[in-house]
Amino acid sequence: MEGGIRMSKKRKKNKSLSREIGLEIGAICGKHFLKLEHLHYGYWTEDMDVEIFNLHIAQEKYVDLLISHIPEGAKIILDVGCGMGQISRKLLDRGYKVDCVSPSAYLAECTRNLLGDEPTIFECFYEQLETDKRYDVVLFSESFQYIPPKDAVAKTLSILNPGGHMLICDIFQTEAQGRSSLSGGHKLKNFNAVMKDAEDAMELATDVDITENTAPTIDIECDLFRNVGLPVMGLVEKLMHSRHPWLTKLIMWKAQKKIDRMHKKYLGGDRTGENFKKFKSYRLFLYRKK
């Protein structure tokens, strides 16, 4: 039994590590090839053409939307899962005091380079954060999905000033029936149950559904995989095969399950903006601590 617990903890740790590495790769590629400064879906408005070179504009619009929901009078903000620090940069430029949480050493370093020494960057998982500081706003921009909701809410309550706010902008799972290769997000139903349990301590101030405005990014991501990711992977395999045929065969054999899963995920045909709207609900929630 103990072995089983140790095993599942190890698996959980490995999963967190792969996720962090995935985010870091995304950050490096997005920044260098597409000038993307953020790691979120962005916010598409009707007047925009849905194409990859507009994603950075959608991302800026999303940040503007987030900032427009920061309550008046807030002075100090904790940016949980700060990515490369760009949202914090904007907050600092607008006169807020900001601290950050980043479990990724690479992303923490990017953030430090961008923000300088003034903000404290807590290099840890939010669940493990220990601080005596108190905040007017705790912000989760697409980071809430990685943290067990109960832990996130309990930690947030413990570090918010009275009257302070928890601002969440993230994906949640709807109750739509059927299978979907779209992963990510807590079940909305479970999140609502956690917030119901916390209703003596927190009240809902704002709930905006921005699923329609985030869904186009899924179509872009899938298109990118099909038209860039797959051909590049094929060429790398061809090159490796010409130099080290046996080693390549071995690697491909070892990785086949993962490759099949990736093909199914991106080429299975169900990873579309339309399906995103069915299986996901992208919400901006603002809760006020009583």
Ligand X SMILES: C[S@@+](CC[C@H](N)C(=O)[O-])C[C@H]1O[C@@H](n2cnc3c(N)ncnc32)[C@H](O)[C@@H]1O
By the criterion CB under 6 A, which residues form the site for ligand X? Answer: 20, 23, 38-40, 80-83, 87, 101-104, 107, 125-127, 141-143, 146-147
Smallest gap, in angstroms, from Cβ of residue 215 to ligand X? Answer: 16
Q: Nearer to ligand X by C-beta: 18 or 45?
A: 18
User: Which single residue is written with the structure tokens 């899938």?
Assistant: 222
Smallest gap, in angstroms, from Cβ of residue 124 to ligand X? Answer: 8
Q: Nearer to ligand X by C-beta: 146 or 287?
A: 146
Residue number of the CB closest to ligand X reads: 81
Smallest gap, in angstroms, from Cβ of residue 84 to ligand X? Answer: 7
**Which amino acid, one-letter code, is at 62?**
Y
Q: How far apart are CA 139 and CA 127, in angstroms?
A: 14
Q: Nearer to ligand X by C-beta: 25 or 259?
A: 25
Smallest gap, in angstroms, from Cβ of residue 43 to ligand X? Answer: 11
Smallest gap, in angstroms, from Cβ of residue 78 to ligand X? Answer: 10
Q: Nearer to ligand X by C-beta: 102 or 281?
A: 102
Q: Sign of the C-alpha dihedral, residues 54, 39, 182, 46?
A: negative
Answer yes or no: are the C-beta atoms of 137 and 67 closer than 8 Å: no
Q: Nearer to ligand X by C-beta: 149 or 273?
A: 149
Q: How far apart are CA 26 and CA 20, in angstroms?
A: 10
Smallest gap, in angstroms, from Cβ of residue 233 to ligand X? Answer: 23
Q: Nearer to ligand X by C-beta: 17 or 247?
A: 17
